[in-house]
Structure 1
Amino acid sequence: MRVMIFGCGYSGQAIAETFKTEGARVSGTARSTEKAQDLATKDIHAFVFDGSAFSNELLIELREVTHLVQSIPPGKEGDPLLKLLARQLRELCPKLQWIGYLSTVGVYGDHGGGWVTEETPGSPILGRSIERVDTEEAWISEGKGGGIPVAILRLAGIYGPGRNAFVNLARGTARRIIKKDQVFNRIRVEDIGGAALFLAKREMEGIYNVTDDEPGPPQDVIIEAARLMGVEPPPEQDFETADMTPMARSFYGANKRVSNAKIRASGFQFRFPNYRMSLADMWSTGRWRG
């Protein structure tokens, strides 16, 4: 496999590490030379891509790519990669066998704490999630036009080494916001890598929720992390009166439980199906620091 990951950030690097375990040659893009150099230190063939144009070096690489992962979020003007491909997918990537697009469970919107599946119609309430729905459809259309399977990975709240409740507690930035009956799903970043590899190896297409088994109140994660650290959790703060940024507050506007039954039924097994075992793993190994 020759894999290209557009937007090789936190999730993209986890995907890269997982593909490398299969002997894949992995390339990735970053927006700056400095970030590209950082990718190179991690045995990722790095290219600078800011969404404006493909470099000659990147065009040469694309001709050899067999698996493509798009992790760059769309803007108000759509997906920057799709704009450049412009129905030239087969011409630019003649060896391409599979595409993975990283989306979000935010496309489902608010369901009052009820369960949603891949069959649930999207009803996003935030602008960035609305853009995701349009981009999902555009990638599926692009794939059909080139005869290439496209898998949409709808991701829950991402956490893992370096980005977790332990880090926030250690920094003194953890907050225990209480909103009645609010639940969230989450996903350990290594499981994103595992799901991408699973779908890619089988050239599977369609929409898949990539999320843990147990949607739950966000404050419970903080309490469990504090218990493992042996520290006091931060005091409770009522959602209605808490001082929060508009962005942070907006996340609480969508309350739902997201099912991962479809990808499980396909045969994928999560390494970290719930936050308790995941936190215990990070704490016992020290990997929480990143």
Structure 2
Amino acid sequence: MRVMIFGAGYSGKAIGRLLSGQGASVAGTTRSAEKGKTLEAVGIRPFVFDGASLTEALLGELSETTHLVQSIAPGSEGDPLIRLCGQAGIRAIMPKLEWIVYLSTVGVYGDHNGAWVNEETELKPVSVRSVERVEAEQAWQVVAARDDLPLAILRLSGIYGPGRNTFMNLAHGTARRLVKKDQVFNRIRVEDIAAATAFLAGPKTAGIFNVTDDMPSPPQDVVTEAARLMDMEAPPEQPFEAADLTPMARSFYGENKRVSNAKIKRLGFNFQYPNYMMSLEDLLGSGSWNQKA
């Protein structure tokens, strides 16, 4: 397995670390040579990608790639990799490609007033970024169908893990307990994203899968539990309506749903961190909560 991760950031690094540890040859893109050092440290060969052009070195690596992980968010101009492939198609630059995984978001479902959603639920994206994600999902489906390639689309919920979690917010004094009536969110530990990717990559499984925990919960409950585990006083509750939030932060609260992960579990995948309570306890107990992200 020769893997290329476009956008080897927080989730991409976790995927690369796991696949490299399993014996795969893993490469990944980053914006600068300096950031490439952090990829090398976890077993990922770095290639600089500016989002606008493919270097000769990167093209050489892509000519040998068998498994593609696309983690770069689309913008107003669409998915950058599809745009660079142009009319020639993806096989023109990746002739040995056998499988694609696109990392999307549960934001594509939009607001369902707290109801359960699954992979068959109607997509009702609210924010501009979620609309762009729907368009990117559809674009990758066209690309995969054109070249008869298996495509897995992973719809991810709120990502957290070592170096990015509520403990960090409490330690930095930025944690808040915002309360909005009946609001719930799903979450996903970054290691479970990596494990789900590896699980699907081996047999080159195609399909759309929600990669999320089992416990959609009010966000203030997570802060309360983290503070309890750290033996700290939780910050006071604040009504959402009166909170000073950026437009992006406020937009997250405009989507209320419970996301089911039953489909990928029916294939035999087991989440290592199925709920935030056991996950927070693990992060604190292992000392990994404040590792560099």
Letter in 1 for 2:34: E
Counterpart in the other structure of 2:46: 46
Tell me whether 99-108 or 82-91 shows the greater mean CA deviation. Answer: 82-91
Report the residue type matching 1:32 in the other structure.
S
Give yes or no for contact 2:16–2:43 (8 Å, CA) kept in 1.
Answer: no
For the pair 1:61 / 2:57, whether they are aligned, the reply is no
Taking the aligned partners of 1:191 and 1:112, their CA distance within structure 2 comes to 27
Q: Find the counterpart in structure 2 of residue 121 from structure 1.
A: 122
Q: What corresponds to 1:265 in structure 2?
A: 266
Partner of 2:81: 81
Structure 1 portions without partners, runs of 5+:
none
Provide, for residues 240-286 of structure 1, a one-character-per-residue CA deviation record: whole Å limited to 9, x for no partner: 10111111111000000000000000111100000000001011111
Q: Which residue of 2 aligns with 1:11?
A: 11
1:262 partner SS: helix
Q: Secondary structure at the match of 2:27?
A: strand
Say if 2:16 and 2:42, in contact at 8 Å, map to a contact too.
no
Shift of 1:231: 0.3
Partner of 2:214: 213
For residues 161-211 of structure 1, the C-alpha deviation after alignment (integer angstroms, 9 at most, x for no partner) is 000000000110000000000000000000000011111111111110000
SS at match of 2:242: coil
- Give 1:90 deviation, angstroms: 1.6
- Measure the CA separation in 1 of the matches of 2:232 and 2:15: 33
C-alpha distance in 1, partners of 2:290/2:216? 24
> Counterpart in 1 of 2:150?
149
TM-score w.r.t. structure 1 length? 0.98
C-alpha displacement of 1:140: 1.1
Write the deviation string for residues 222-242 of structure 1: whole angstroms up to 9, x where unpaired: 011001000000000000101
Instruction: Give the Cα separation in 1 of the matches to 2:192 and 2:44.
Output: 19
Runs of 4+ in 1 over 2 A off after TM superposition: 40-43
d(CA) in 1 for partners of 2:58, 2:236? 50
Q: Report the counterpart of residue 162 of structure 1 in structure 2.
A: 163
Give the secondary structure class of the aligned counterpart of 1:287.
coil
Deviation at 1:41, TM superposition (A): 3.0
Residue number in structure 1 paired with 2:108: 107
Letter in 1 for 2:81: L
Q: Aligned residue for 1:96?
A: 97
| Percent of pairs with identical residues | 62
Corresponding residue number in structure 2 for 1:279? 280
Q: Using the TM superposition, give the Cα deviation of residue 22 of structure 1 relative to its aligned residue in structure 2, in angstroms.
A: 1.5
Amino acid at match of 2:199: F
What amino acid is the match of 2:277?
R
Instruction: Find the counterpart in structure 2 of residue 184 from structure 1.
Output: 185
| Partner secondary structure for residue 163 of structure 1 | coil
Secondary structure, counterpart of 1:240 in structure 2: helix
CA contact (8 A) 2:5 2:27 kept: yes
Letter in 2 for 1:6: F
Q: Which amino acid aligns with 1:34?
A: E
Q: Which residue of 2 aligns with 1:251?
A: 252
Q: CA deviation at 1:60?
A: 0.5
**How many residues of Structure 1 are paired with residues of Structure 2 in the alignment?**
290
Q: Which residue number corresponds to residue 27 of structure 2?
A: 27
Q: Partners of 1:172 and 1:70 in 2: how far apart?
A: 34
Q: Shift of the alpha carbon at 1:20?
A: 1.4
Q: Provide the TM-score with structure 2 as the length reference.
A: 0.97
* Structure 2 unaligned regions, length at least 5: none
- Cα distance between partner residues in 2 of 1:100 and 1:277: 28
